[in-house]
Homo-oligomer: A and B are copies of this chain.
């Protein structure tokens, strides 16, 4: 059997791929969790606290009632014919479910949909984008996906021909990008966010990294920007966004804008601007600038990670290229309909005047205020801890502190054959049950590493 399938004869791209947020430390945490179940009291803590990934409902965040009402009604539409339903569900969740079902051919929430997603739901998403940005959006540009990740994979699959194709990615970066580039056999071209200026992004650094990659024969195809930042929590300033767009235009790069934290801004002096809005404000039209914008139901105040809903909005690509994107989407048939419905809901939540609006608003604001409070609390806690420093948590759901470990800890890590920050994270887990991701897992280097 060993010769039939062994690590030695697997796809080397798979072997090279790393995905720190679900890697060694998380696997160890799952083992400890099982130990807690079979031998309660055998560890110095009673539960595992998973802070390795933005997964708010696993930490007790409650889903927004209106969204779940609509999902339940769409899952079991015969409820809509029962008298008791009106006392169990809000009036606007009932009318919204009816509207949604009316846009689904045959009201069949159990049927494969169009591979880009149900047209009526894409219309709702496009309307939400237009109202957010003040510029029109088109349902034909929307690809609804199972969370944002499949959309990222699709674009990497489309653009990467071989190891000479490069994608500019921020460091530190959400490791989906390095993992997806590795799986598709391309080259990650790093650009470094500047910790000393609150994870600033300078186009002069972009230019230097780009030229350096080009001098090595790398064909750099696209620039990934994560705004608000994952895992660094910064929010881009508007002028900075204009510079980035100009840079892409001058250099012939596609802009891949990861905007899944668009609702998560915690400071008064910063505001989320979509790159679509920036690009249109600069006068570029539908065919002038290749842009992919990602959104997900997993983040924001909704936090519906398990529902796997999201979309990418694709503008500035020619019809023949779009056909190829559609083909890739079609090989997976369609994304899940529950996630599709939820994606339409987060982009079109209850409005003033709707029965649910007050409750929705209270839930939404409560969650966002709690996230902001906790972001500030953890930022302050780190900055008051010896050997730690931490930038302002402006947005997203993460902070990326710098830790100065004592020499002996670094030596102990070396002796154990681990990176110092990975060693620290393992010891933190074993002592407290708290799961974090070492900075090296995000590609962060030396000095500003967790070391």
Task: Give complex CA distance A287, B161 in Å.
Answer: 37
Q: Which residues of B contact A22 (CB under 8 A)?
A: 115, 327, 330-331, 333
Task: Give complex CA distance A100, B327 in Å.
Answer: 36
Partner of A306, one of B87, B111, B184: B111
Contact size range, A: 35 or more
B336 touches A306 (CB 8 A): yes
Q: Counting CB contacts under 8 A, is A254 at the interface?
A: yes
15 A–B pairs (Cβ distance < 8 Å), ordered by A? A1-B287, A7-B324, A22-B327, A57-B106, A65-B78, A71-B76, A111-B305, A111-B306, A113-B306, A146-B332, A176-B331, A180-B331, A305-B333, A336-B338, A336-B339
Q: Counting CB contacts under 8 A, is A179 at the interface?
A: yes
Q: How many copies does the complex hold?
A: 2
Partner of A331, one of B4, B6, B179, B290: B179
Q: Which residues of B contact A4 (CB under 8 A)?
A: 252-254, 290
B252 touches A304 (CB 8 A): no
Interface 0/1 of A374-412, CB less than 8 Å to B: 000000000000000000000000000000000000000
Q: Which residues of B contact A114 (CB under 8 A)?
A: 30
Task: Give complex CA distance A252, B333 in Å.
Answer: 32
Task: Give complex CA distance A338, B308 in Å.
Answer: 9
Take A76-B72, A84-B84, A252-B4 as given contacts and tell me if A332 and B57 are in contact as well, using a CB distance cutoff of 8 Å: no
Task: Give complex CA distance A316, B2 in Å.
Answer: 10
A75 touches B68 (CB 8 A): yes
Task: Give complex CA distance A56, B72 in Å.
Answer: 22
Residue in A75, A179, A317 whose Cβ sees the most chain B Cβ within 10 Å: A75
B75 touches A157 (CB 8 A): no
Residue in A113, A157, A158, A306 whose Cβ sees the most chain B Cβ within 10 Å: A306
Partner of A183, one of B149, B331, B337: B331
Q: Counting CB contacts under 8 A, is A135 at the interface?
A: no
Stretch in A8-16, A235-243, A346-354 with 4+ CB within 8 Å of B: A8-16
Q: Counting CB contacts under 8 A, is A55 at the interface?
A: yes
Partner of A108, one of B306, B333, B338: B306
Q: Which residues of B contact A336 (CB under 8 A)?
A: 146, 306-308, 336, 338-339
Q: Which residues of B contact A146 (CB under 8 A)?
A: 146, 308, 332, 335-336
A327 touches B19 (CB 8 A): yes
Q: Counting CB contacts under 8 A, is A318 at the interface?
A: yes
Task: Give complex CA distance A270, B161 in Å.
Answer: 46
